């Protein structure tokens, strides 16, 4: 399991334990931010290597 996926799951579980039912925005945030940041950093490093 990747670092971002485990972070997303950890975040979702924390929200679930606090609120009991996570909203759709929380789920989208948890599973969307990690991959987006990863892709952005990968793109920047690929551009910098040129």
Say yes or no to pLDDT of 1 above 80.
no
pTM over 0.75: no
Predicted confidence band of residue 46 (pLDDT cuts 50, 70, 90):
very high
* Nearest of 1, 2, 9, 3 to residue 31 by alpha carbon: 9
pLDDT tens string 3-37: 555 666 677 677 677 766 667 887 777 778 878 88
Say yes or no to pLDDT of 38 above 90.
no
Domain ranges of the chain: 3-49
Q: Give the model's pLDDT for residue 2.
A: 53
CA pair distance 50, 47, nearest whole angstrom: 6
């Amino acid at each position: 399991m990747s670092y971002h996926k485990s972070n997303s799951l950890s975040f979702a579980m924390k929200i679930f334990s606090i609120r009991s039912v996570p909203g759709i925005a929380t789920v989208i945030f948890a599973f969307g931010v990690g991959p987006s940041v990863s892709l952005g950093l990968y793109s920047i490093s690929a551009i910098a290597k040129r």
